[in-house]
């Protein structure tokens, strides 16, 4: 599907520049969710039909990040997917993390301090050089939440491999607009309610086979069984042999809405979405006299920006003392110009 054709499936009120906080659903997602809720309200159907959306979502995510479906697990939040990796770090291990990292990808490592796991934080622009022979794992966001900085993914991976360190990536602020190969890392986690435009309660993780062998699925339930439908009662333990053994039993309605959004993104292609999103972001930057960038998320320091945008009906966010604007495929030139008029008047 062409991007222009897909854009007709959204109907945002003018001025929404805050996808980095939450994304907006296409008509196909909204309609699927309303139908499921209507069925739920009157008990019209069984749950198995809703659960089919979980498999569709898993497959669409795998296609977006270039990973085998068997290496993708589903969950509820990015931190929940990181937890078994953090818990598996041996005592005395060292984890290197950018110092401004969103705490979803920081707290899971810090809480392991009582077991002797050390966390060393460094400036993002020093991350590559900070990976050394003492590093056991490097964790970072592919795109930083605060200001949209895109991490040097390939260089971080190369440095980590040179020192036999694991690579864990939080791609929550990247997946959906930035093409990348998840299989370069050992693990990639994504909360889907932002650029993947799903409801809250949907998250995906790529877990490399070699890493999975070192992890214990502490949240295992019937849904993590080799055959979930024969895993309702009693022993023995019979978990899936692939990444599904780390699945959390899904929030049905969230996945019902997630599947159409992910499938639409996969059909349009993230390369086309990236070109469009970054183009709008650069229109915004150049309109403020700033150089162009390479991200769909930008942060600007303009006096009283928050109040000026609010008066104009523009919804953005404030992060680290700056106004953060984010642009996705349903954003328009008119949205950008509305924000520019408010900030330059």
Predicted structure pTM score: 0.95
Domain spans, the chain: 3-24+269-344, 48-266
pLDDT at position 275: 98
As assigned by CATH, the class of the 48-266 domain is: alpha beta
Contacts of 297 by beta carbon, 8 Å cutoff, 6+ apart: 20, 143, 144, 145, 147, 148, 173, 281, 324, 325, 326, 327
pLDDT at position 321: 65
Residue in the block written with tokens 């934080």: 121
Contacts of 95 by beta carbon, 8 Å cutoff, 6+ apart: 89, 109, 117, 118, 119, 120, 135, 136, 137, 138, 139
pLDDT at position 303: 86
Number of CB atoms found within 10 A of residue 77's CB: 19
Domains 3-24+269-344 and 48-266 share a fold: no
Q: Provide the CB-side half-sphere exposure for 43 (13 A, CA).
A: 0
In CATH, the architecture of 3-24+269-344 is Alpha-Beta Complex (3.90)
Q: Which stretches in the chain have pLDDT values below 50? A: none
- Local structure of 317: helix, strand or coil: strand
Q: Is 213 exposed, middle or buried (0-12, 13-18, 19+ CB in 10 A)?
A: exposed
pLDDT in tens, 110-144: 999 999 999 999 999 999 999 999 999 999 999 99
pLDDT at position 307: 87
pLDDT at position 330: 98
Q: Residues 152, 158: contact at Cβ < 8 Å? A: no
pLDDT at position 320: 64
């Amino acid at each position: 599907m062409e991007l222009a054709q897909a854009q007709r499936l959204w109907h945002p009120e003018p001025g929404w520049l805050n996808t980095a906080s939450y994304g907006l659903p296409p008509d196909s997602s909204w309609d699927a969710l309303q139908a499921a809720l209507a069925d739920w309200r009157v008990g019209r159907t069984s749950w198995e039909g809703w659960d089919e959306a979980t498999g569709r979502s898993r497959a669409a995510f795998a296609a977006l990040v270039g990973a085998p479906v068997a290496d993708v697990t589903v969950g509820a939040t990015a931190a929940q997917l990181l937890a078994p990796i953090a818990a598996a770090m041996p005592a005395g291990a060292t984890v290197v993390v950018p110092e401004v990292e969103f705490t979803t990808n920081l707290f899971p490592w810090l809480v392991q301090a009582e077991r002797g796991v050390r966390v060393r934080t460094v400036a993002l622009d020093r991350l590559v050089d900070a990976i050394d022979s003492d590093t056991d794992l490097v964790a970072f966001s592919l795109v930083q939440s605060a200001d949209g900085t895109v991490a040097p993914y390939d260089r971080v991976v190369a440095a980590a491999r040179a020192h036999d360190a694991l690579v864990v990536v939080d791609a929550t602020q990247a997946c959906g607009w930035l093409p990348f190969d998840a299989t370069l890392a050992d693990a990639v986690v994504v909360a889907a309610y932002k650029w993947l435009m799903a409801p809250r309660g949907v998250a995906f993780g790529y877990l490399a086979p070699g890493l999975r062998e070192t992890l214990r699925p502490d949240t295992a339930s019937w849904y993590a069984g080799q055959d979930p439908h024969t895993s309702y009662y009693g022993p023995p333990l019979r978990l899936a042999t692939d990444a599904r053994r780390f699945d959390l039993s899904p929030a049905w309605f969230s996945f019902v809405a997630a599947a159409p959004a992910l499938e639409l993104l996969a059909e349009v292609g993230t390369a086309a979405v990236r070109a469009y999103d970054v183009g709008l972001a650069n229109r915004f930057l150049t309109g403020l006299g700033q150089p162009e960038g390479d991200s769909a998320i930008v942060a600007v320091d303009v006096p009283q920006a928050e109040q000026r945008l609010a008066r104009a009906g523009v919804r953005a966010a404030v992060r680290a003392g700056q106004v953060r604007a984010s642009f996705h495929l349903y954003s328009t030139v008119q949205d950008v110009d509305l924000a520019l008029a408010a900030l330059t008047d």
